[in-house]
């Protein structure tokens, strides 16, 4: 029974990889056919910065109307809940305006005086629009975090914020250290979205 569930999960992951590869190929061919051989590039990454009071049970990421990532797992040993970073999309995109939409599903993981959280389920939707120019790369981090302070009710804390870093070039073979360091011409932006129960 467990092996069958593992096999089904593996098959779903392979289907997801194939679908993402197909989307990237489609976007790349659109860029080449429109005459923009250089195009632009996007790197969308999810960062789970929530405390142990919340468990991630579902995540949906949509880039320009195309689903890039869609997983749900309620189990306590879920890889979804235990992964701190998940790459969502890395590839070529046409220059211009783009929108990423997110819906996170969380379950309270209370203990001690916060044990009441175990009965709570949260849905945290958000979206972010960005513009990318020809020959540029945008690195967009989608970060699940807890807003407020110690006086903020735990049920009001889950939220999503975005950090955007734009750099020149669309090279895919830059070393990781060089990719994470922002060059002098890079622009960085942060925006915050709120969630709902």
DSSP 100-150: EEEEEEEEE---GGGGGGGG-EEEEEEEEEEEE-TTEEEEEEEEEEE-S-T
Compute the half-sphere exposure of residue 99: CA atoms within 13 Å on the CB side of its CA. Answer: 6
- Residue in 90, 96, 87 with CA at minimum distance from that of residue 31: 96
Q: What is residue 180's DSSP assignment?
A: H
> How far is Cα of residue 94 from the mean position of the Cα atoms in its chain?
19
pLDDT at 36: 47
pLDDT, tens digit, 9 for 90 and up, residues 2-19: 777 788 888 888 888 887
The yes-or-no verdict on residue 181 having pLDDT over 50 is no
Structural domains in the chain (count):
1
> How far is Cα of residue 99 from the mean position of the Cα atoms in its chain?
12
pLDDT, tens digit, 9 for 90 and up, residues 125-179: 999 999 999 999 999 999 999 998 878 887 788 999 999 999 998 876 444 433 3
Q: What is residue 196's DSSP assignment?
A: B
Phi–psi pair at 178, nearest 5 degrees:
-70, -35
pLDDT at 180: 38
Which residues lie across from 47 on neighbouring strands?
85, 143
Stretch (H or E) spanning 3: helix 2-33
The span from the CA of 98 to the CA of 162, in Å, is 14
List the structure tokens of 185.
């011409």
pTM score of the predicted model: 0.67
Stretch (H or E) spanning 161: strand 158-168
Its domain, for residue 147, covers 2-194
Is the CB of residue 136 less than 8 Å from the CB of residue 170? yes
What is the biggest distance separating any 2 CA atoms in the chain, rounded to whole angstroms? 61
Which residues lie across from 63 on neighbouring strands?
66, 100
């Amino acid at each position: 029974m467990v092996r069958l569930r593992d096999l089904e999960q593996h098959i779903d992951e392979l289907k997801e990889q194939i679908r993402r590869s197909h989307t990237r190929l489609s976007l790349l061919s659109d860029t080449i056919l429109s005459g923009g051989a250089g195009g632009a590039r996007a790197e969308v990454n999810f960062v789970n910065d929530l405390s142990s009071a919340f468990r991630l049970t579902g995540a949906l990421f949509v880039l320009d109307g195309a689903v890039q990532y869609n997983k749900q797992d309620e189990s306590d040993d879920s890889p979804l809940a235990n992964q701190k970073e998940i790459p969502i999309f890395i590839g070529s995109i046409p220059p211009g305006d783009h929108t990423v939409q997110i819906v996170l599903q969380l379950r309270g993981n209370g203990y001690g005086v916060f044990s009441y959280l175990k009965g709570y389920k949260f849905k945290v939707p958000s979206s972010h629009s960005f513009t990318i120019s020809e020959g540029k790369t945008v690195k967009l981090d989608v970060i699940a975090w807890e807003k407020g302070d110690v006086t903020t009710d735990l049920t009001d804390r889950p939220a999503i914020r975005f950090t955007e870093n734009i750099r020149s070039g669309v090279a895919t073979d830059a070393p990781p250290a060089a990719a994470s360091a922002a060059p002098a011409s890079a622009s960085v932006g942060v925006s915050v979205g709120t969630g709902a129960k």
